[in-house]
């Protein structure tokens, strides 16, 4: 990417109210990565491994695996996933009821 322009860098920085040192520091900064990607991945792995786990058990499992994480963050990530992560899937049970009076 070329940073060359017709306007001097000093003038551009003054227009943007940024110091030249700040501009050069920003220019050499690597692009930031989302720090939560690894956590989301780990939550999904736990949810696939243990489909009946809710956010409380997922939080406990993350802590067992060495993560330092707040339960509210786990709950938010699971809620934002939009899928039934942590929703217990229970099979319907057959209920047989005999309503005849026993004498």
pLDDT of residue 76: 92
pTM: 0.52
The CA distance from 71 to 62, in Å, is: 10
> Which of 67, 71, 77 shows the shortest CA–CA distance to 57?
71
- The pLDDT of 28-45, averaged and rounded, is 84
DSSP 8-state code for residue 17: T
Taking every pair of C-alpha atoms in the chain, what is the biggest distance, in angstroms? 102
The CA distance from 38 to 85, in Å, is: 16
Q: Is the pLDDT of residue 91 over 90?
A: no
């Amino acid at each position: 990417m070329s940073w060359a322009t017709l306007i001097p860098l000093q003038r551009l920085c003054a227009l943007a109210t940024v110091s030249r040192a700040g501009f050069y520091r920003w220019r050499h900064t690597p692009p930031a990565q989302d720090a939560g990607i690894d956590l989301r991945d780990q939550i999904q792995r736990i949810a696939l491994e243990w489909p009946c786990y809710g956010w409380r058990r997922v939080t406990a499992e993350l802590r067992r695996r060495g993560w330092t994480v707040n339960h509210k963050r786990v709950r938010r990530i699971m809620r934002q996933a939009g899928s039934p992560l942590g929703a217990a899937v229970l099979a319907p049970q057959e209920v047989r009821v005999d309503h005849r009076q026993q004498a």
